[in-house]
A and B are shown apart, each in its own frame.
Chain A
């Protein structure tokens, strides 16, 4: 069966906007993603090296801000939902298949290294910037947070700034 076409971007945007309003109204906070990665990382480290996490300041500050287990976290539940939702959506639209995607002039091993380093940079940057595209840029825009809008401009501005140097990865 053929893959179904993607949704109209403006319609998807309106739906996403309405979801974000509902989220803010119900929970008082916005959407997010990178925070879940942080919670998982802290959770893993606390299990693997409890002595280490008891001494390092980052983990101490984290447990100061978040009571209970790092996995009993709003964003962890939300991200599990994202995974389920995306899977269901892919199932309905016939887009489920194991595949490594890369640009026409790129190669699989370049793509693998690129994805690993890109993820690393994004994970690091999202910690420094207190949130990623969802948690800081989008949710920050909804509540008109100055920091959120600065992060948004920096993410997209930065991407345009560096895009030229990595054009062979994609086009």
Chain B
């Protein structure tokens, strides 16, 4: 599961990765024509909309790519850098950058590109940007208030607007396609070209079709959590799903024996868990199943992961989701903890057995009902699952 940094790609290797990514970034920007200020500012005077086309195409492709990676469980979005939102600094900083754009003709990335191929104006722009950073650094006490005002955290735009991610992605894609069409009309008008902006040539039809498919794909790629939650809302499906089960007696026996292959994954709410929990059990939540670090304990080999919750139906729901996420060794406790409490912890010693097997079972339960409560008291459980990894530090 991504991001690959820091466990698959180490911190030193990450610098090499940065260099290679940078080379590709530089080649693409230069090949697109971002190495000349005339082409860049064309956007603001209507004679060349290359920047808008490249920028929005890249943004849409990347957005849908990230949604897809998350949908297929390849990227943990909780570890990915989401640019934090500070309303006023974002707005005012952006306006100042916009002014810098029309005055200077570059932005920082493109100025580096242009300087690399010998544009003197770009080199001067870079010198200017150093001075700009220095002014900010030296005058920081003056700007700090504005810089840190209205902190909204790592919020994402669909949450801010209160809509689904897919809906927002669709709107943004549709808006971009419309913008591409409009700017072509404007561009032709400004440059005095009489030909219609879009013609039914294979080239335009292909681009339009790809754009259309991309915008629709936003709907197919629903958020994984939503689609899985939807899946387990079907009662019949959940009850008929084939899952490995463990009886309360076997479960009790393994706890008494201190079986180290047994991993108890406790899905009850944390308050209930804190009040009373089984020895060696780990508190887990629905969200943990989707996170890179917490879900690691489910992948430890030769372990029997027993999912426990108050009732078997809930256990089934979590186990099915785990199965769908690729954790194949999820076992559920038959009857849930309710049954475990009733049959084992609060076993009624006066029960009368009618068969030999029953009398063996009852004898065991009688013993277990006195041992396990002591174990629960003595043993400290593992607590909530650990999250050692933090969100990647990114941004400029």
Contacts and interface: CB of A to CB of B under 8 A. Distances in A.
Contact of A125 (B79, B96, B160): B96
B245 interface: no
B91 A150 contact: yes
Interface in A70-93: 72, 74-75, 77-90, 93
Interface string B1-35: 01111000100001111111111111111111101
Contact of B108 (A34, A56, A87, A170): A34
A59 B139 CA distance: 11
B154 to A, nearest CB: 7
Given A37-B129, A116-B127, A78 B21 contact: yes
Contacts of A81: 18-26
B105 A143 contact: no
A154 B22 contact: no
What bracket does the count of chain B residues touching chain A fall in?
Answer: 35 or more
Contact of A133 (B87, B108, B117, B133): B108
Nearest to B74: A25
B21 A31 contact: yes
Q: Which secondary structure dominates where chain A touches chain B? A: helix
Contacts of A84: 19, 22-23, 26, 116
Contacts of B114: 86
A88 B125 CA distance: 21
Contact of B61 (A18, A37, A75): A18
A131 B58 contact: no
B69 A21 contact: yes
B19 A147 contact: no
Which residue, A22, A37, A128, A153, has most C-beta atoms of chain B within 10 A? A128
B106 interface: yes
Given A35-B396, A118-B128, A130-B89, A159 B99 contact: yes
Contact of A151 (B38, B79, B94): B94
B47 interface: yes
B122 interface: yes
Given A24-B80, A143-B156, A166-B103, A29 B132 contact: no
Contacts of B110: 133
A10 B269 CA distance: 49
Contacts of A26: 2-5, 9, 17, 21
Nearest to A171: B45
B186 interface: no
A128 B3 contact: no
B221 to A, nearest CB: 13
Interface stretch (B225-233, B300-308, B387-395): B387-395
Nearest to B154: A145
Nearest to B75: A25
A14 B147 CA distance: 34
Contact of B25 (A19, A112, A117): A19
Contacts of B71: none
Interface string A18-61: 11111111111111111101101110010000000000111100
B237 interface: no
Nearest to B25: A82
Contact of A27 (B3, B58, B119, B133): B3
A56 B140 contact: yes
A117 B133 contact: no
Contacts of B147: 128
A25 B98 contact: no
A145 B85 contact: yes
A93 B93 CA distance: 35
A122 B101 contact: yes
Contacts of B270: none
B98 A103 contact: no
Interface of A: 6-7, 9-10, 12-35, 37-38, 40-42, 45, 56-59, 65-66, 72, 74-75, 77-90, 93, 95-103, 111-112, 114-163, 166-167, 169-171
9 contacts: A27-B4, A33-B109, A37-B130, A85-B30, A118-B105, A119-B129, A147-B86, A157-B98, A163-B44
